[in-house]
A and B are shown apart, each in its own frame.
Chain A
């Protein structure tokens, strides 16, 4: 068997290499650096969630547009609200072949879990692909809940029996949940799942009572008539949800976004950073990406890259520190 295997790998590998190089060399390698081996695209969340969908779309677009001579390989490391992925990146310091697709747990997880020993301000900022939005979702079976007021009333009546699904203590949805608890003066039970897709599925199956999913995670279920959004936590109504009010319109000062950006490990070489900034910039401006943003309710107006993204990270970390202080870390971790 070994011999046949060898024969096959011998036959296939050059073909694959030939195909990828033939298209790859015409790519965007303007910088002095180009990848020498496959690039790990680390996702700090589970398969099927928003970050995962984005990573897989980017991987496919990179291949389709032949932007890299080496493939990008998406790897999910969802453990501990992204702590597993962050620690992995930290340990990869100086590596030019690993990049991370972030969520806001990029900020919150190191604040809440001090033990993991990660300083994300030392990471190498590459590019911000989008700002993602949040909506409040319930199952359509909850016929009595039609707006925020009836939602708050139902939650207060249920008390701790009200189950909110999310992707883990310290993840952005747990922050938003804590912000809502603080604002409306109720308490819920927060149940963590391994990814936004699984949260959505559990809401459709009525195993949880509500969720604050991103549009991409719930859109298909919404179109199928399984779930309904009650309110959006944005400054203005999203084009994809013209009939759903924002919290601000209703007089509730609840606004929250999530950045979806690409970052390298600490100490990535400047040439590699420039190469990635250029590559993801090209993806950002592609028609496919912009279409995806509109369809999935993401805001993709401005491509923040390099130092500008680094500065943005610093202000966001401050903002999250204050947020976590005001609602209390205990409210988020549920301890």
Chain B
């Protein structure tokens, strides 16, 4: 323990050296902007920046890449809240409540909450990383296919209450998402599925960002066009020091969900199969399930912004663990980081911690610093970000359309996905008109492929025996927790009805 503290403080001191600190400042700022721009957050944006890392020593370069990675996690929330387009897949859950808050003129509140929650999530996860990295790395190894599948079941369970009261419509929405998730090449046999004859654009499946940007970006615009009937509207945004201080006071109201979200996020992030997107969705689902006021979620509840943001930041720190100890990157940006390590002769693996402690702890030390820097930069920029909302709709709407197209095109670089995105936009708008919840479909398309793969791997391994999921301790616990989560809203509902009945009888 003592040696860890020595190494860590050495790492932090190293991160504070002028060049390294400069790289953190630059990296966080670039990351914030890359994360905020839909599509730029993809591999492209970071790969273009790779040459910069060869101008500085390896440590500074890794710190720079880590700072970009960190800044991007903060940045994702910005376009989710102000424009209603998720800047990255990890920030989709932030749209659910961030956008309604912005429309109600509370964008500054939502952005502050996102920044603070990200900071809390980052801090909790870095501390957990510092204290428990080796045992958690060992624990992550215990996660085989059955455990992964059980975790996915748990993730679905956290979303059971998300669709509101209309259970059939929620199930319908989940099923649409699951069907879309099966499009593309079969993960086991490699045969094409649901490619509509032979449309090659479907071979790579339906990209989750295409669905999310279509439903939330395009669908939302269509909805706004209808409700405003083309009237030019301008959101009022008031910013004052007093309002900012009030925003900070809000922390009290979401500190609980944030802490829970951070812990879940970190834990889910350390599992190589999962990552920040499922983590943020799970955290959102749990925040809603355990909220005193679940009805307000999706309509602008501040906890609905804080919970996913805390979780995705925590998960991004968590996913450093499988990258360092197993060499399995959890995201395109960690993959770049991995590439950087290989070039500098550092091989990820269980021995990296013991053979290159200076590197590992230097990296962790820089995360501490980057977390502080990112939150300060983010909050300083909030007054500028909310200005976006003061733009007249006639300027904002075309800009959003363009950003949607860029965001839909960037991940796979095919026009096929752009057309698909427009289609999802129209469908999303119609579903909204008919009062279908769309969030469950988004969840299903993220978790569907993970769940399908792990289910089929488990059943192959167990020779078709379903009991493998309950016999193994970790997956058994996950399945049990999932059952509890599913029944919790039902019991709550039942109790509420009974007490209402009792009240009416007396």
Contacts and interface: CB of A to CB of B under 8 A. Distances in A.
Interface string B434-469: 000000000000000000010001001101000000
Contact of B384 (A4, A40, A80, A335): A4
B460 A79 contact: no
Interface string A196-219: 011011101111100000000001
A48 interface: yes
B43 A84 contact: no
B461 A226 contact: no
Contact of B453 (A5, A59, A76, A194): A194
A3 B383 CA distance: 13
A169 B144 CA distance: 19
A277 B414 CA distance: 27
B431 to A, nearest CB: 28
A205 B144 contact: yes
A333 B49 CA distance: 41
Contact of B327 (A9, A79, A197): A197
A208 to B, nearest CB: 8
Contacts of A74: 43, 47, 335, 339
Q: How large is the interface on B (under 10, 10 to 19, 20 to 34, 35 or more residues)?
A: 35 or more
Contacts of B144: 202, 205-207
B358 interface: no
A119 interface: no
Contact of A38 (B44, B141, B327, B387): B44
Contacts of B352: 220
Contacts of B185: 79-80, 83-84
B187 interface: yes
Given A80-B185, A169-B189, A16 B48 contact: yes
| Residue with the highest number of chain A CB atoms closer than 10 Å, among B322, B328, B350 | B328
A168 B185 CA distance: 12
A335 B457 CA distance: 15
A192 B47 contact: no
Contact of B328 (A16, A64, A197): A197
A12 B351 CA distance: 38
Q: How large is the interface on A (under 10, 10 to 19, 20 to 34, 35 or more residues)?
A: 35 or more
Contact of B145 (A52, A53, A77, A207): A207
Interface stretch (A109-117, A259-267, A297-305): A109-117
Interface string A60-73: 11011000000111
A224 B350 contact: yes
Contacts of B203: 79-80, 83-84, 87-88
Contact of B463 (A161, A195, A219): A161
A245 interface: no
A36 interface: no
Contact of B342 (A23, A57, A77, A163): A57
A63 B51 contact: yes
A83 B204 CA distance: 10
Interface stretch (B30-38, B93-101, B301-309): B30-38
Contacts of A258: none
Contacts, number: 187
B232 interface: no
Given A205-B143, A221-B350, A80 B453 contact: no
B349 interface: yes
A144 B145 CA distance: 25
A105 to B, nearest CB: 9
Contact of B51 (A16, A91, A161, A192): A16
Nearest to B323: A48
B339 A80 contact: no
A88 B51 contact: no
A88 B204 contact: yes
B107 to A, nearest CB: 10
Interface in B338-390: 338-340, 342-343, 347-352, 381, 384-385, 387-388
Interface in A301-335: 333, 335
A189 B463 contact: yes
A248 interface: no
Contacts of A191: 145, 457, 460-461
Given A38-B44, A80-B186, A201 B329 contact: no
B342 A56 contact: yes
B54 A63 contact: yes
Given A1-B388, A191-B460, A207-B461, A81 B51 contact: no
B192 interface: yes
Contacts of A5: 33, 36-37
Contacts of A83: 185, 190, 192, 203
Nearest to B29: A8
* Chain A at the B interface: SS class: helix
Nearest to A22: B51
A113 B190 contact: yes
A63 B55 CA distance: 11
Interface in A100-136: 109, 112-113, 115-117
A57 B43 CA distance: 16
Given A9-B33, A220-B350, A19 B460 contact: no
Given A48-B327, A160-B463, A224-B349, A38 B187 contact: no
Contact of A19 (B37, B52, B145, B350): B52
B47 A73 contact: yes
A161 B463 CA distance: 8
A170 interface: yes
Contacts of A53: 327, 342
A193 interface: yes
A76 B29 CA distance: 27
Contact of A63 (B50, B142, B145): B50
A198 B186 CA distance: 18
A268 interface: no
A59 B141 contact: no
A57 B460 contact: no
Contacts of A333: 189
Contacts of B328: 47-48, 195, 197-198, 201
Contact of B184 (A3, A79, A219): A79
Contacts of A40: 413
Nearest to B453: A194
A9 B29 CA distance: 11
Contacts of B506: none
B349 A221 contact: yes
B505 interface: no
5 contacts: A20-B51, A38-B44, A80-B203, A202-B144, A205-B141
Given A38-B44, A84-B185, A201-B328, 15 more contacts: A1-B387, A3-B387, A9-B33, A48-B327, A57-B342, A59-B339, A60-B342, A73-B44, A80-B191, A161-B463, A163-B461, A169-B189, A205-B143, A221-B350, A226-B350
Interface of B: 29-30, 33, 36-37, 43-44, 47-52, 54-55, 78, 82, 141-145, 184-192, 198, 200, 203-205, 272, 322, 326-329, 335, 338-340, 342-343, 347-352, 381, 384-385, 387-388, 391, 399, 413, 453, 457, 460-461, 463
